[in-house]
């Protein structure tokens, strides 16, 4: 169950944000303190499964062929077989378009080296390098999990955001997602809660409301 303070912050963020003609995302913004993020081991890069989901369609692309491609077609939003690789790997514009259109990528493990060499420069900086899966395994469970996942990346900045749902979601569900993200981040910090300066919730274009 979500913290009462988080629920109240979510409700305030939603009620004070002007109505828009599109479905706004809800984000949690986190500010760290006394953490040296110039040291790679101190940076946070986490994929966090949200208990209440993202509230919108999350698109997953699979690099794979044969049996895996067949298994993935009902779960993945796009399947790119090895004979289609050159369309994206030899054309940077197509690769960038692909990175914009899809939230997560997975790939058969033997293909990872080629993907990293050809598309790493596009996918890497966006935090979208594929997650490797073994040949012959069923990718559907992984894909379905990713569609309920948000990503947290600090890089070298002490302030970062994570999508936790959409404005139309129940405030209690949004708060549950937010608490899940905050608890995971706190768990990764050397001094735990002490390294957390503050946390806010906001809609895409709405005002930020402090949670802690």
Residues 6 or more apart in contact with residue 97 via CB below 8 angstroms: none
CATH 3.40.50.1360 fits 60-146, yes or no: no
pLDDT at 156: 85
For the chain, the structural domain boundaries read 4-55+150-210, 60-146
Give per-residue pLDDT as tens, 104-124.
999 999 999 999 998 999 999
pLDDT at 34: 96
pLDDT at 28: 98
pLDDT at 83: 87
Who wins on pLDDT, 199 or 20?
199
3-class DSSP assignment, residue 121: helix
Confidence bin at 160 (pLDDT 50/70/90): very high
* DSSP notation for 135-192: TTS--HHHHHHHTTEEEEE-TT-SEEEEEEEETTS-HHHHHHHHHHHHHHHHHHSTTG
The CATH homologous superfamily for domain 4-55+150-210 is Ribosomal protein L1/L10, rRNA-binding domain (3.30.190.20)
Say if residue 1's pLDDT is above 80: no
Percentage of the chain exceeding pLDDT 70: 100
Give per-residue pLDDT as tens, 126-152.
989 999 999 889 999 999 999 999 999
Give per-residue pLDDT as tens, 31-89.
999 999 999 889 998 999 999 999 999 999 999 988 888 989 889 999 999 888 888 88
The strand pair at 45-49 and 149-153 is best described as: antiparallel
Cα angle 201, 203, 206; round to 5: 100
Who wins on pLDDT, 75 or 155?
75
């Amino acid at each position: 169950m979500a913290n009462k303070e988080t629920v109240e912050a979510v409700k305030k963020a939603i009620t004070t944000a002007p109505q828009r003609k599109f479905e706004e995302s809800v984000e949690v913004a986190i500010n760290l303190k006394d953490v040296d993020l110039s040291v790679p081991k101190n940076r946070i890069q986490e994929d966090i499964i949200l208990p209440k989901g993202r509230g919108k369609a999350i698109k997953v692309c699979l690099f794979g062929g044969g049996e895996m491609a067949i298994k993935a077609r009902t779960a993945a939003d796009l399947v790119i077989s090895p004979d289609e690789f050159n369309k994206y790997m030899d054309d940077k514009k197509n690769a960038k378009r692909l990175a914009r259109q899809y939230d997560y990528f997975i790939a058969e493990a033997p293909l990872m080296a080629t993907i990293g060499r050809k598309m790493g420069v596009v996918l890497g900086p966006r935090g979208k390098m594929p997650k490797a899966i073994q040949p012959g395994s069923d990718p559907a469970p992984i894909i379905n999990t990713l569609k309920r996942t948000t990503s947290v990346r600090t890089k070298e900045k002490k302030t970062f955001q994570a999508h936790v749902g959409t404005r139309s979601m129940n405030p209690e569900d949004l708060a549950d997602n937010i608490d899940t993200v905050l608890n995971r981040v706190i768990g990764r910090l050397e001094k735990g809660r002490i390294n957390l300066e503050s946390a806010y919730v906001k809609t895409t274009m709405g005002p930020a409301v402090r949670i802690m």
